[in-house]
Chain A
Amino acid sequence: MKTRLSDSLLHVVLAVWALLVTLPLAWAVLSSLKTDAEIFASPWSLPASPQWGNWVRAWQEAHIGRYLLNTLIVVGGALVLVMLLGALTAYCLARYDFPGSRIIYFGLVAGMLFPVFLALVPLFFVVDQLGLLGTYHGLILVYAAYALPFTVFLLHAFFRGLPTATAEAAFIDGCSHAGVFFRVMLPMARPGMVSVGIFNFLGLWNQYLLPLVLNPDPDRYVLAQGLAALAVSQGYRSDFSGLFAGLVIAILPVLAAYVLFQRQIRAGLTAGAVR
């Protein structure tokens, strides 16, 4: 009896935070379906009829569709690149003993200690001099370079932990070094690759500072950049409902993916933080 009573107390406490978390999100979704007049009237009134036109306007006129496409290109490209290079590096450093391997490892991992703000000014000029300012591939290379330390750090521990017998057998069967990596070790490292991949996806999706500095062309804005620019530009302050719609379009894909794969995503992200 005592247990049941205190359990309901716990539920009240937990439900309050759940409400605090969902309230702003629910409000944004609701507002994205209202007319501007309805938004101004009351934050909680339901729309008389859902204004899907807001979403269409955000997608087309406010270029949210283009920003989403840009984001997918940049984040997708950087994700593939950093996972490939990160896995190769981590594997070589974890499985081969050669002069300088420890120096390379610590040099890479030390990159996690430096705040990006420190590199910001010279990075701008490096990217500018290479003619990569405001290009997809420039952004992809920079994203991948800054995600590399953490990727190597996490995958290094993972490759260390894999058993050696399979790889040795493959070598005896005449498999090449690259063959062992791609056909034996990489498939065995799949769980680690998935969780580090999720970690990297959210990290890259989150980027705001790097595109702000390195991606000045409005046609190539990523979602975060485009949305922030819309929110501060005076012209769009009048179209509240359109902005809410843009916001919801930016939130929903990740939220939907999370609800589908929530267990793996939470496990992957927290495992990344602990190690």
Chain B
Amino acid sequence: MRHGRYRFLIGALAPPLLLYGVFVVSPYAQAFYLALTDWDGLSAEARIVGLANFADLWSDPLFLAALRNNGILLLIVPTAVIALALFFAACLTLGGGTKRRGVRGSGLYRIVYFFPQLLSVAILGVLFQFVYTPGDGLLNGLLGAVGLDSLERAWLADPATALPAVTAVMIWSAVGFYVVLFTAAMESVPTDVVEAAVLDGAGRFTVFRRITLPLVGDSVQTAFVYLGILALDGFALVQIMTVGPGGPDNATEVVGLTLYRAAFTYGEFGYASAMGVTLFFITLTLTALALRATRRERVELA
């Protein structure tokens, strides 16, 4: 049994670890170093400038606009998606009385709700750019059809509506996945617990609020972390959908886009790396906060 154990381990682990080291670990490590330099990608040596890049970030109006927009996305997207997904998941599982679980046709709803999850984010961007197109786009066409012509506008070109338009796409595309996730969690709530509550005179809504909801807490926590990461990105949608890209008056600028432009348009590689490091610490802080904030509410059952 011991024979050839280490030879097997080395043979099996060397290729993946080499791959991971070269393409993942080394770039991440280099990014922290590059963030302290003014490297332009051409000069042989990078000059160490200390924390100057980070100081510059806080007076860069573009970066601050990006930070503000990601902040808005972070406030709205996770909350809206989780609220909508919990609501629809509750509708799917609560219906049909207490005996039979789920409304009729809940299987079909689940299939359809999941559709957006299968669209790659670039496809999403192209599709919704058409939806929002002034004149012959789907949204303006629908508004015109129901007599709301006065609301028609160039959604992505108007600074007031550009960011909400992008936010709506994010929400539209994410809700279905979390409906399926929450529905699965709700269905794993043991039947005898629900029946006991019903015998004690609890109505549908009470059962949901007092039993189901606390038990999907873990899934909600996971959802907050994933959706937070999604809200801090937004790069592909903004880059494809909005003019500039970055929208009118930087209305839809996001950190990823500022970083991408600084690096690959202006060649400010040190400065771009400083943005990456900032983004990393924001992500890390938020993940830790989300895991902490929801930990206490955990309920164990069954």
Contacts and interface: CB of A to CB of B under 8 A. Distances in A.
B145 interface: yes
Interface in A177-228: 177-178, 181, 202, 205-209, 213, 223-225, 227-228
Nearest to B110: A266
B16 A10 contact: no
Contacts of B54: none
A43 B30 CA distance: 50
Given A14-B91, A18-B113, A145 B23 contact: yes
B88 A14 contact: yes
Contact of B118 (A208, A209, A258, A273): A258
Candidate in A96, A127, A202 with the most chain B CB atoms within 10 angstroms: A96
Contact of B103 (A14, A39, A227): A14
Given A43-B136, A266-B114, A224 B120 contact: yes
A68 interface: no
A208 B103 contact: no
A242 interface: no
Contacts of B122: 208, 223-225, 227-228
A240 B1 CA distance: 65
A12 B137 CA distance: 26
Given A14-B88, A247-B123, A270-B184, A255 B118 contact: yes
A231 B24 CA distance: 31
Interface string B11-29: 1110111011011111110
B283 interface: yes
B27 A43 contact: no
B95 interface: yes
Interface stretch (B148-156, B157-165, B252-260): B252-260
Contact of B130 (A123, A223, A244): A244
Candidate in A24, A25, A96 with the most chain B CB atoms within 10 angstroms: A24
A216 B272 CA distance: 20
A113 B113 contact: no
A44 B144 CA distance: 12
A114 B28 contact: yes
Contacts of B217: none
Candidate in A114, A152, A255 with the most chain B CB atoms within 10 angstroms: A114
Given A92-B13, A117-B279, A266 B180 contact: yes
Nearest to B135: A40
B91 A141 contact: no
How many B residues are at the interface, by size bracket? 35 or more
B26 A177 contact: no
Given A17-B113, A96-B9, A273-B222, A118 B103 contact: no
A182 to B, nearest CB: 11
Contacts of A247: 123, 126-127, 130
Interface in B4-52: 4-6, 8-9, 11-13, 15-17, 19-20, 22-28, 30-31, 34, 41
A226 B135 CA distance: 25
A111 B123 contact: no
Contact of A254 (B41, B118, B287): B118
Interface in A22-74: 22-25, 27-28, 31, 39-40, 42-44
B198 interface: no
Contacts of B273: 118, 121-122
Given A14-B92, A14-B109, A115-B280, A24 B127 contact: yes
Nearest to B276: A118
Nearest to A7: B95
Contacts of B172: 20-21
A148 interface: yes
Interface in A68-107: 85-86, 88-89, 91-92, 96, 98, 104, 107
B120 A255 contact: no
21 contacts: A7-B104, A14-B91, A23-B138, A88-B13, A96-B5, A98-B6, A111-B20, A115-B279, A117-B233, A120-B27, A120-B263, A121-B27, A122-B30, A141-B23, A148-B19, A176-B8, A208-B236, A228-B122, A228-B125, A251-B119, A270-B181
Interface of B: 1, 4-6, 8-9, 11-13, 15-17, 19-20, 22-28, 30-31, 34, 41, 84, 88, 91-92, 94-97, 103-105, 109-123, 125-131, 135-138, 141-142, 145, 172, 175-177, 180-181, 184-185, 218-219, 222, 226, 229, 232-233, 235-236, 239-240, 255-256, 259-260, 263-264, 269, 272-273, 275-277, 279-280, 283-284, 287
Given A11-B105, A14-B92, A120-B272, 14 more contacts: A3-B97, A89-B17, A107-B25, A115-B276, A118-B276, A119-B28, A120-B259, A120-B276, A141-B23, A145-B20, A176-B4, A208-B235, A258-B115, A273-B181
The 10 closest A-B pairs by CB, nearest first: A43-B141, A224-B122, A177-B8, A122-B30, A145-B23, A118-B276, A119-B27, A122-B27, A85-B16, A123-B27
